Protein backbone atom coordinates (compact mmCIF):
# COMPACT_ATOMS: atom_id res chain seq x y z
CA UNK A 1 0.00 0.00 0.00
CA UNK A 2 2.87 2.40 0.74
CA UNK A 3 4.21 1.88 -2.76
CA UNK A 4 0.89 3.09 -4.23
CA UNK A 5 0.55 6.21 -2.00
CA UNK A 6 2.18 8.65 -4.45
CA UNK A 7 0.05 7.38 -7.32
CA UNK A 8 -3.17 7.79 -5.36
CA UNK A 9 -2.29 11.21 -3.96
CA UNK A 10 -1.01 12.76 -7.18
CA UNK A 11 -2.95 10.65 -9.71
CA UNK A 12 0.17 10.16 -11.79
CA UNK A 13 1.29 7.10 -13.70
CA UNK A 14 4.49 5.50 -12.37
CA UNK A 15 7.46 5.77 -14.68
CA UNK A 16 9.14 2.53 -13.71
CA UNK A 17 12.84 2.40 -13.01
CA UNK A 18 15.13 5.39 -12.92
CA UNK A 19 17.83 5.29 -15.55
CA UNK A 20 21.20 6.80 -14.66
CA UNK A 21 23.85 7.97 -17.08
CA UNK A 22 27.37 6.69 -16.50
CA UNK A 23 30.53 8.71 -17.17
CA UNK A 24 31.24 6.85 -20.41
CA UNK A 25 27.85 7.89 -21.83
CA UNK A 26 26.07 4.57 -21.34
CA UNK A 27 22.91 4.12 -19.28
CA UNK A 28 21.88 1.64 -16.61
CA UNK A 29 18.91 1.20 -14.30
CA UNK A 30 19.32 1.61 -10.54
CA UNK A 31 19.89 -1.71 -8.80
CA UNK A 32 18.13 -2.55 -5.56
CA UNK A 33 19.88 -3.19 -2.28
CA UNK A 34 19.90 -6.72 -0.91
CA UNK A 35 16.56 -7.92 0.46
CA UNK A 36 18.25 -8.73 3.77
CA UNK A 37 19.54 -5.17 4.18
CA UNK A 38 16.12 -3.79 3.29
CA UNK A 39 14.41 -6.16 5.74
CA UNK A 40 16.71 -5.23 8.63
CA UNK A 41 16.29 -1.52 7.81
CA UNK A 42 12.49 -1.85 7.71
CA UNK A 43 12.23 -3.78 10.98
CA UNK A 44 14.52 -1.55 13.05
CA UNK A 45 14.36 1.90 11.39
CA UNK A 46 12.07 2.12 8.38
CA UNK A 47 8.60 1.97 9.84
CA UNK A 48 9.35 4.49 12.61
CA UNK A 49 11.12 6.84 10.23
CA UNK A 50 8.33 6.57 7.66
CA UNK A 51 5.75 7.39 10.33
CA UNK A 52 7.56 10.62 11.19
CA UNK A 53 8.19 11.35 7.51
CA UNK A 54 4.53 10.97 6.59
CA UNK A 55 3.37 13.11 9.53
CA UNK A 56 5.72 15.93 8.53
CA UNK A 57 4.56 15.59 4.92
CA UNK A 58 0.94 15.71 6.01
CA UNK A 59 1.51 18.87 8.06
CA UNK A 60 3.27 20.47 5.08
CA UNK A 61 0.34 19.56 2.82
CA UNK A 62 -2.05 21.34 5.19
CA UNK A 63 -0.34 24.66 4.47
CA UNK A 64 -0.45 26.17 1.01
CA UNK A 65 3.21 27.17 1.12
CA UNK A 66 4.38 23.69 2.15
CA UNK A 67 2.15 21.78 -0.29
CA UNK A 68 4.78 21.18 -3.01
CA UNK A 69 7.32 19.91 -0.50
CA UNK A 70 4.70 17.77 1.23
CA UNK A 71 3.69 16.08 -2.02
CA UNK A 72 7.36 15.51 -2.86
CA UNK A 73 7.90 13.91 0.54
CA UNK A 74 4.88 11.65 0.05
CA UNK A 75 6.28 10.62 -3.34
CA UNK A 76 9.48 9.50 -1.60
CA UNK A 77 7.66 7.60 1.18
CA UNK A 78 8.25 4.07 -0.27
CA UNK A 79 11.99 4.77 -0.52
CA UNK A 80 12.08 6.02 3.07
CA UNK A 81 10.16 3.00 4.35
CA UNK A 82 11.95 0.17 2.54
CA UNK A 83 15.04 1.73 0.89
CA UNK A 84 13.43 0.94 -2.46
CA UNK A 85 15.17 2.65 -5.36
CA UNK A 86 12.86 3.99 -8.01
Every domain of the chain and the residues it spans: 2-82
pLDDT average, residue stretch 13-38: 64
pLDDT at residue 19 in the model: 53
Residue 60 pLDDT class (50, 70, 90 cuts): very high
Question: 48 or 79: which carries more pLDDT confidence?
Answer: 48
User: In the predicted model, what is the mean pLDDT of the chain?
Assistant: 78
Residue 37, pLDDT above cutoff 80: yes
**Bridge partners (DSSP) listed for residue 27:** 21
Percent of the chain with pLDDT over 70: 63
Contact 61, 75 (CB under 8 A): no
CA nearest 82: which of 39, 32, 48?
Answer: 39
Amino acid sequence: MLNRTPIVLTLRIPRGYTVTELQDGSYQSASQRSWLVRLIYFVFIGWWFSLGWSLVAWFLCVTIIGLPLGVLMLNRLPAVTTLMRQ
